[in-house]
Structure 1
Amino acid sequence: MSSLLGRLGGAAAARPWRTLVAWLLLLAAAFALAFTVGGTPRDSYRVPGTPSQAGSDLLAERFPEMSGAGARVVVHDRAGARVPDAVLEELSGRLAGLRGTPIVAPPVFSPSGDTALITLNYRIPVTSFEGAEGLDALRAAAEPVERGGLQVEFGGQLPENFSAPSGTAEAIGIVAALVILVLALGTVVSAGLPLIVALAGLGLGSAVVYLLAAVTDISATAPTVATMVGLGVGIDYALLLVSRHVEGLRKGLTPQRAAAEATATAGSSVVVAGSTVLVSLLGLKLAGLATYSSFGYATFAVVGAVMLASLTLVPALCSLAGPRLLRRAERRTIGKPAAAPAGPTRTERWARLIGRRPVAAALASLVVMLALAAPMLAMRTWPQDAGIQAESNTTRKAYDLVTAGYGPGANGPLLVTVDLRKVAAAELPAIAARLQADPGVAAVAPALLNGAGDAAVVSVQPRTGPQDTETRHLLDRMRAGLLPPGAEVTGVVAVFADISDRLSSRLWVVVPFVVALSLILLTLLFRAPVIALKAAAMNLLSVAAAYGVMTAVFQTDAGAGLLGLPHSVPVSSWVPILMFTVLFGLSMDYEVFLLSRVREDWLATGDARGSVVRGLSATGRVISSAAAIMVAVFIGFAIDPDVTVKMMGVGMAAAVLVDATIVRLVLVPATMTLLGRANWWLPAWLDRLLPELRIEHGDGPAPAARERERVGV
């Protein structure tokens, strides 16, 4: 692999302009295809095999007019006067003419009369509306009412499903990354190069995502998550290659030769690290939800694109930049004898310090990691609702008005579908009475029968809001005994509850799958099962610490307030599995960057402890800079208005921070020092089974190194 990558990097560096032109043509073709035949990302909330899906299917079959999206229009008089009936009648008429043939229910007044609630039911699902199409139509219908001085806000599934992209998070991440790159590399040219490469890969990957959206469902949030990950790893991979290229220039290599050597060495690490990320993303397919698969497809496409950009564009651009990648003082010393080193670097001194006290360092770092992970035990997962949106958001205003006028449960009614082929229609009053008698129920609407008389729908308003644990308890009671066979609970709250249950159960399928694949990949590449097991264990620690930090931040009022949320919130059901698969791959990036250099030194010298010191000394600065960039990118996404993206940003920033500091700078060198030569132990039977996959530069290690690698002595 190393030789192949070296030839690839050498060819790109020898013909840089051809490489750049090829990339421009590739980007132009990808964007042209995306704009002409690409699709629009949209969510799919189908959860086959769940009770809520059975209820939704019954609606689609026998109540098509109620099987689609839902929306609420809230009209409020700020002066406290009763909302005029004539205004509401005109508004209802305009709403009835909207696309999707919505059913417009009669306005329901609050007890004071200053708020009126109009509920709409569409025949088409929420995913059939592109962008702000549905919300814009509602705004247009309500515009005359607003001109008349009344407040009109919009809630329900249709408005809440739309989130306007701002681009602020990406801009913050890019600016922060540029500052860190200048500090790490020393010149604007060398700092700008990784950004250019990452953006090129991100552009290609994003175009591929929209092409995928034309043939399969891609979640509306998936491109944002893919951008978050792709921007971080793209800059990291390019930074690793540029840093190795600069090392070659300092040794007196020509730009073309330095580019080939950097691609052969650091490029191997990029391929291994990127492959680990891609392998981890395969675990999303096991989540059992189409939406999760779409996150995997999108992120897979973007990470693959930035890997390709790093391996081809970096050598080409480095070749064009020539010695300008070096600081001015370094340029003047090219071709002159190298000055004697001033002494051990800071990272080398740190590695030696850890090596002298490995037991204390390992125990102290382990205690810190476990303390960070401890809040994870109190994690509560639940889908988010409009009650945690920014106060300026119309869905949040509608949520607050409904809560004040009708009670918190009105924001998340439960729909009971009754198959009258299995349940006698005469039982409907008794069902309604049992529901009304439950202490968690605020109101039960009269049953609605379809035209054929073979199905009915009963709307149940809980006393508590959608995120309240009591609402979930009510749902469980309804399914456990309040409803007869043939009746199912559906609606947004019930669907999201089933999604939460499905994801919680599938997490324990995804985790072993991702860990097992990563173990196999690392064992194949490093031929060291102990190293692979240790890397998996430490990555699990990093993910657990991220879960703990995320729980402590979002499930406390103080932490949530720092991020602009009105109060503490449960962790979004979408986040744990998605974070695990992404973070496990990203944590492996730094492990691979470090271990590649340690292994390279070990095979050359056979010095188990010294190789740890020298490997960490060579990569510590790059890993720290790469981690700082990724943390900055993820923190930028923590300000995103979408709460799921916000949680992902906070969780991944925390994971990368602890991974690049506590894990890579303390726990890894401490454990590798304790294990010594056992790090590289390889049983003879496994040595015979494993294929020879060389990731080191050159023709391979010397015979003595080969023997050390085989038996670990």
Structure 2
Amino acid sequence: MSALSTSNLAKSAARKPRTTILIWVIAFFIAGGLAGTFLQGNLSSQWRFLNNPESQVADDLIAEHLRDPYAAVETVIVTSDSFKYDQIEFVSFADQIATDILELGPEIVTSTRERIVNEDRDAALIFVRMAGSADEATLEVEKIHEIIDHANENDQFSVVVTGNATLSLDFVEGSEKDLLTGEAIGIPFAVIILILVFGAIMAAAIPLIIAILAIVIALGVAAVIGEGFQLSIFVVNVATMMGLAVGIDYSLFIIERYREERRKGSSIDDSIEIASNTASRAVLFSGITVVLAVAGLFFVPTDLFWSLAIGSILVVMTSVIAALTLLPAIIKLLGDRINKWSIKAVVKRQDAELKSGFWDKIASVVMGQPIISLFLSVGILVAMAIPYFDISTGLAGVSTMPEHFRSRTGFETLDSKFSGGLMAPIILVVERPDRTLDLQDRLEAFTDAIGGFPVVETSPDKQIMTISLAPPGDAATADAMKAIQTLREQTIPGAFGPYADDVHVTGWAARQADFTEVADNRQIPVIVFVLGLSFILLTLVFRSILVPLKAVIMNLLSVGAAYGLIVLVFQKGVGNEIFGFQQVESIESWLPIFLFAILFGLSMDYHVFLLSRIKEHFSETDDNRASVAHGLRSTGRIITGAALIMVVVFGGFAAGDLTLLQQMGFGLAVAVFLDATLVRSVLVPATMRLLGRRNWYLPSWLEWLPHLDIEGLRKR
């Protein structure tokens, strides 16, 4: 890696610090304006396939011949303990609600369908078809909610609503609330940790400023991308979470290296240059690794995965560029004032810690019993990973929403009085039904097979026929997924015979089943891509095949342990109440791939910073044991602080209401914690003690590989 990549950037930025800072401030305000103007309108609570699974084929046929397949249909449920539907009071009350909803106008509501009354005659359904796209319906559904809230002023009736638009609105509002919760928890704790790491308030404030700036600029770019590509609402949550984590950590590493060189007596300019030739190079390498690892998500053809990748990549790239340019300018402008408002007690503790060699002691204990340490730590990680083999994957449905959310309250009433499946029916699309001469017999065979009476509709051009049926319960459950599989593999072939290939299944349950299948099928390509990439990059950096091999194995252990703990806590309900998490039937099907890509990228931070210091010392002394102790001692406090920042940031996002964000935040926090404790403090020194000089073995036939210097370029 040439000096041009970091040193010259830092020198140029530090040479004109005010100009550099001004450029970033201008970029911040421009990006903020773009995000404020365009971002919200370019985000969607829906997701789309970018390939052509069966449900997408069916949706495309519906869109071509009938209507928008994603148009929202809201279900209003009217119940009463005082009246039966046969009584005029009940009918008049329900009629008035339907009238009020229709009076919202055709630009909001296109129709209200025929009502359904339950067997006890104490509940009635009003189906409301929303106008416009699913996202437009999400913006307008609050007007229906206002009508329902007004109707509930009559204490003789109870009115609730659920449906696609209401559920989407709950997701939007829930994600925004969880974003604020994550920031409210993560930022204050991150500041406290930074103060404890640096011992100075001024130094602690700078990484937070860099992180916030990177988040805003990344979201501004995302707003522009959203003009041409639909982005998920969760791009904001991911960009904010990742921005706070890596933006703070990258700045932390560079600032601490600069302060270390100043303590050794180097001038301000020399300290900036040394930091740029060492810590900044590691930041650049780490950022590139994260970006390339997250790029593996593009192997999964859905705009949800692509949105998660785009949000993560944008904020990581911005954080790296800011750390390489803006940060040297700020350091140059502040000089030694970066240590302003020092906290003497913290500084004194840090000095005592360095002298006592805390990390030396950790390394000595582990390397004194390397085999026991190795088997004990691996055993713990493997034991944590075991529950992963019982994982059940799916997507968040209405039944996983917090109990106080409107969509869940409405769904539970619908499910108890009628059938929850009415909210999200399964839809069969029959192509060119006129070719099927015995269609009526086929429909009767299908009706007999499902034991019900589906709703049949033919498109005006007679090119397709839709058959709608309501599955029991939530369409996002494992039972609904199994129902889709049974329909496709058994029921439809049995009922439609030679015409089965012309019958396609869609609806929420079918889309989820296809999404889960797509995610599962793309796991291997993503894993191979990320593992191969990590191995190659680490081989180039450390000119060793054992160092990258160990890093890959150790990362697999920490990620596997995180997977197992997610299943244990969320799916099996072990300790979930301690954290305030909801026990659910399944883990988000997008989560394993997302966590794998993100964590492999992030874990390279610690491996690169630790191993590069060990390698630097080993090259000078040829003493393996002393080099490991030196690496742990010189990076222990800073890496621990960086890891704790990531843990509190990710943990803050796990403290929200939405289960899918809880799972994501918890998984990331646990994996980073394990990586920075068991892996760095035990596995790394134990394996390095056992392998000795063989740690740096590179076959002679690979000597031609280029050497990417990360650390160890300090002037001597």
- The Cα shift of 1:580 comes to 1.1
Seen in structure 2, the aligned counterparts of structure 1 residues 623 and 574 have a Cα distance that, compared at 3 Å, is same
> In 2, are the aligned partners of 1:3 and 1:697 still within 8 Å (CA)?
no
Cα 1:432/1:632, change in 2 over 3 Å = farther
- Aligned position for 2:134: 126
Given candidates 497, 516, 537, the residue that maps to 2:532 is: 516
Tell me the equivalent position of 2:410: 398
> Closer, same or farther in 2 for the Cα pair 1:354/1:423, shift >3 Å?
farther
Whole-angstrom CA distance in 2 between matches of 1:237 and 1:34: 24
Q: Distance in 1 between matches of 2:539 and 2:300?
A: 26
Which residue of structure 2 aligns with residue 388 of structure 1?
A: 400
Partner of 2:698: 682
In the other structure, the counterpart of 1:156 is: 163
Contact 2:151-2:159 within 8 A present in 1 as well: yes
Alignment partner for residue 64 of structure 1, among 35, 43, 67?
A: 67
- Pick closer, same or farther for the CA change 1:482–1:103 going to 2, 3 Å: farther
- What letter is aligned with 2:97? L
Secondary structure, aligned partner of 1:64? coil
Q: Quick one: structure 1 residues 206 and 285, their matched pair in 2 at CA, closer, same or farther if it must change by over 3 Å?
A: same
8 A Cα contact 1:66 1:121, kept in partner: no
Q: 2:402, 2:658 within 8 Å by CA — same for their partners in 1?
A: no
Q: Per the alignment, in what secondary structure is the counterpart of residue 49 of structure 1?
A: coil
User: Is 1:146 matched with 2:161?
Assistant: no
Q: Does 1:30 align with 2:45?
A: no
Match of 1:607 among 620, 623, 628: 623
Q: Does the 8 Å CA contact 1:432/1:444 hold for their aligned counterparts? A: no
Who is 2:299 aligned against? 286
Structure 1 residues 566 and 340: alpha-carbon distance in aligned structure 2, compared to 1, 3 A threshold: closer
Report if the CA contact (8 A) 2:433-2:462 is conserved: no
Would the aligned equivalents of 2:274 and 2:713 in 1 still touch at CA under 8 Å? no
Question: Residue 10 of structure 2 corresponds to which residue in structure 1?
Answer: 9
| Cα distance in 2 for residues equivalent to 1:553 and 1:415 | 34
Could you tell me how far 1:467 is from its partner in structure 2? 3.9
Structure 1 residue 144 displacement after superposition = 4.4
- Count matched residues: 690
Between 524-533 and 59-68, report the one with greater CA deviation: 59-68
CA shift for structure 1 position 318: 2.7
State the one-letter code of the partner of 1:472: M
Contact 2:394/2:477 (8 A) holds in 1? no
Q: 1:227 aligns with which of 216, 240, 248?
A: 240
- Distance in 2, matches of 1:70 and 1:506, equals 32
Which 10-residue stretch deviates more, 12-21 or 166-175? 12-21
Q: Deviations over 1:85-132 (max 9, x none)?
A: 233334334444343653432122233333322223456442455xx5
* Residue equivalent to 2:709: 694
Task: Kindly report which structure 2 residues correspond to 1:340-419, keeping only aligned pairs within 5 A, or say none.
Answer: 343-419=355-431
Report the counterpart of residue 485 of structure 2 in structure 1.
476
Q: Which amino acid aligns with 2:18?
A: W
Alignment check: 8 A CA contact 1:44 1:127 kept: no
* Aligned-residue offset at 1:437: 4.1
CA 1:86–1:47: 2 relative to 1, 3 Å: farther
> Which moved further from structure 2: 543-552 or 92-101?
92-101
* 648-657 or 590-599, larger mean C-alpha shift: 590-599
| 1:18 matched residue in structure 2 | 19
- Partners of 1:366 and 1:693 in 2: CA distance: 30
Q: Which residue number corresponds to residue 711 of structure 1?
A: none
Q: Does the C-alpha gap of structure 1 residues 531 and 78 become closer, same or farther in structure 2, counting only changes over 3 Å?
A: farther
Return the letter of the residue paired with 1:17.
Answer: R
Please say if residues 394 and 516 of structure 2, whose CA atoms lie closer than 8 Å, have aligned partners that are also in contact.
yes
Q: Which residue of 2 aligns with 1:135?
A: 141
2:605 is the alignment partner of 1:589: yes
Quote the Cα distance in structure 1 between the aligned partners of 2:324 and 2:715: 21
**CA gap 1:699/1:685 in 2 versus in 1, 3 angstroms:** farther
Structure 2 residue aligned with 1:250: 263
| One-letter amino acid of the counterpart of residue 43, structure 2 | P
* Equivalent residue, structure 2, for 1:707: none
| Kept after mapping to 1: 8 A contact 2:247/2:316 | yes
Cα gap change, 1:479 to 1:220, in 2 (>3 Å): same
429 and 395 in structure 1: CA distance in 2 versus 1, 3 angstrom threshold: farther
Amino acid at match of 1:3: A
Question: Aligned-pair distance for 1:184?
Answer: 1.7
Contact 2:70–2:134 under 8 Å retained in 1: no
CA distance in 2, matches of 1:639, 1:320: 38
Aligned twin of 1:89: 95
For residue 421 of structure 1, report the CA deviation from its aligned partner: 3.3
- Spell out, residue by residue over 1:291-315, the C-alpha distance to the aligned partner (whole angstroms, 9 max, x if none): 2112111211111011111222322
Distance 1:396 1:677, change over 3 A: same
Is the contact made by 1:279 and 1:518 (CA closer than 8 Å) also made in structure 2? no
Change (3 A) 1:657 1:381: same
Deviation at residue 551 of structure 1 after TM alignment: 0.5
Q: Distance in 1 between matches of 2:353 and 2:318?
A: 39
Matches within 5 A, 1:457-496: 457-483=466-492, 484=496, 485=500, 486-496=502-512
CA distance in 2, matches of 1:652, 1:564: 17
* Alpha-carbon offset, residue 24 of structure 1: 0.5
Q: Tell me, what secondary structure is at the counterpart of 1:113?
A: coil
Partner of 1:444: 453
Structure 2 counterpart of 1:382, one-letter code: G
Structure 1 120/436 Cα, relative in aligned 2: closer, same or farther at 3 Å? farther
Contact conserved, 2:398 with 2:474, CA < 8 A, in 1? Answer: no
* 1:174 corresponds to 2:190: no
Cα deviation, 1:579-635, whole Å, max 9, x if unaligned, reads 111111111111111112112222222223321111111111111111111000011
Letter of the structure 2 residue corresponding to residue 629 of structure 1: I
Match runs of 1:185-204 below 5 Å: 185-204=198-217
Partner of 2:635: 619
Give the residue type in structure 2 aligned to 1:357: Q
Q: What residue identity is the alignment partner of 1:481? A: Q
Measure, in 2, the Cα distance between the counterparts of 1:611 and 1:78.
77
Contact kept? 2:80, 2:122, Cα under 8 Å = yes
Q: List gaps (5 residues or longer) in structure 2.
A: none
Contact 2:148 2:160 in 1 (8 A): no
The equivalent position to 2:78 in structure 1, one of 75, 84, 105, is 75
Q: Is the 8 A contact 1:428 1:447 kept in 2?
A: no
TM-score, scaled relative to structure 2: 0.90
For residues 566 and 36 of structure 1, what CA distance do their matches in structure 2 show?
Answer: 36
Q: Deviations over 1:473-532 (max 9, x none)?
A: 222121112112122221111111110111011111110011111212222222222211
**1:639 counterpart = 2:655:** yes
1 CA distance for matches of 2:72 and 2:165?
A: 6
Match of 1:215 in 2: 228
Q: Distance in 2 between matches of 1:340 and 1:187?
A: 17
Q: State how far apart, in whole Å, the 2-side matches of 1:634 and 1:573 are.
A: 19
Instruction: Decide whether aligned partners of structure 1 residues 434 and 591 sit closer, same or farther in structure 2, where only a CA change above 3 A counts.
Output: same
**Contact conserved, 1:198 with 1:310, CA < 8 A, in 2?**
no
User: Relative to 1, partners in 2 of residues 1:563 and 1:695: Cα closer, same or farther, differing over 3 Å?
Assistant: closer
Write the letter of the residue equivalent to 2:141: L
Contact 2:294 2:597 in 1 (8 A): yes
Structure 1 range deviating more: 74-83 or 667-676:
74-83
Deviates more, 1:562-571 or 1:640-649: 562-571
Residues 444 and 575 of structure 1: CA distance in aligned 2, closer, same or farther (over 3 Å): farther
Change (3 A) 1:428 1:493: farther
Moved more, 168-177 or 443-452: 443-452
Post-superposition CA distance 1:183-233 (Å, at most 9, x none): 222121121121111111122112111121112121111221122112111
> 2-side partners of 1:357 and 1:576: how far apart?
34
Deviates more, 1:20-29 or 1:450-459: 450-459
Asked if 2 retains the 8 angstrom alpha-carbon contact of 1:2 and 1:698, the reply is no
| CA positional deviation for 1:558 | 4.8
Report how far residue 285 of structure 1 moved.
0.7
Q: Distance in 1 between matches of 2:426 and 2:674?
A: 42
SS of residue paired to 1:462: coil
Deviations 1:9-60 (A, max 9, x none): 2443343322221211121222234445655212432353322112212211
